[in-house]
Amino acid sequence: IKHPLQNTWTLWYYEPDRNKSWEESQREITSFDTAEDFWSKEKFLFMRSLYNHIKTASELRQGCDYSMFKQGIRPMWEDDQNKCGGRWLINLDKKQRTTDLDNFWLEILLCMIGEAFNEYSDDVCGAVVNVRPKGDKLGIWTSNADCADSVMEIGRKLKERLRITSKTTMGYQVHKDTMIKAGSQTKNTYTL
């Protein structure tokens, strides 16, 4: 028998396409609800697989994203579960694409499917990896930016699991602020 997960998770892929809107360029790849299915799909995404058209995060073309969200939550600010939420953002420097990106992404996925955030796991919506020339980004999205206890506990757990040193700061940004930022940097509502 397979080991059921608490939630069903969906993987999404974003590739920029000038003929489509941002939303239309988000594609669902696959969903899974057992540990075994996660690991079999994980092979495609994180190890060098038989199928060379599917890549690890660090091998994606710059400008592309992977997202993994609970089933029924779209990886966008507009979704009902995201619209009052925000994200813990980890900005990587360019060198970390080869050293840290795939490891951090996998660890974030494992935290999510393992419901590692204890009583706050329900507030986690999903996570996104953005592969960008300026430096890659990892974000873990939560549903309620006003719930400081939940946001801080999720952030602390994440920092611990990724073994991010206390020198590095992590910021939590409210989606409503990100949406309207227009070029400038979004302010951090919480930091760790």
Residue nearest to ligand M7G (CB): 76
Which tokens hold the place of 88?
């813990």
Nearest approach, Cβ of 23 to ligand M7G (angstroms)? 6
* Cα(185)–Cα(136) distance, integer angstroms: 15
Nearer of residues 58 and 130 to ligand M7G, judged by Cβ: 130
Four-residue CA torsion sign, 126, 25, 132, 180: negative
For ligand M7G, the closer of residues 24 and 50 by Cβ is 24
State the alpha helices, DSSP H only, in 54-147. Answer: 96, 102-113
Listed residue (153, 144, 146, 158) closest to 112, CA to CA = 158
Nearer to ligand M7G, 27 or 48 (CB): 27
For the bound state, the minimum distance from the C-beta of residue 76 to ligand M7G, rounded and expressed in Å, comes to 3
Q: CB 55 → ligand M7G: shortest distance, Å? A: 18
Q: What is the CA radius of gyration of the chain?
A: 16
Nearer to ligand M7G, 101 or 116 (CB): 101
Please, how many CA atoms are within 13 Å of residue 113, restricted to the half-sphere of its CB? 23
Q: Considering beta carbons, is residue 76 or 113 the nearer one to ligand M7G?
A: 76
Interface residues toward ligand M7G, by CB under 6 A: 22-23, 76-78, 130, 132
| Tokens linked to 93 | 């420097």
As measured in angstroms, the least distance from the Cβ of 78 to ligand M7G is: 6
Judged by CB, which is closer to ligand M7G: 75, or 155? 75
Whole-angstrom distance, CA of residue 116 vs CA of residue 126: 13
Minimum distance from CB of 192 to ligand M7G (Å)? 21
Q: Residue 119's Cα: distance from chain center in Å?
A: 20
Determine the distance from the C-alpha atom of residue 156 to the mean position of all C-alpha atoms in its chain, rounded to a whole number: 16
| Minimum CB–partner distance for residue 7 and ligand M7G (Å) | 20
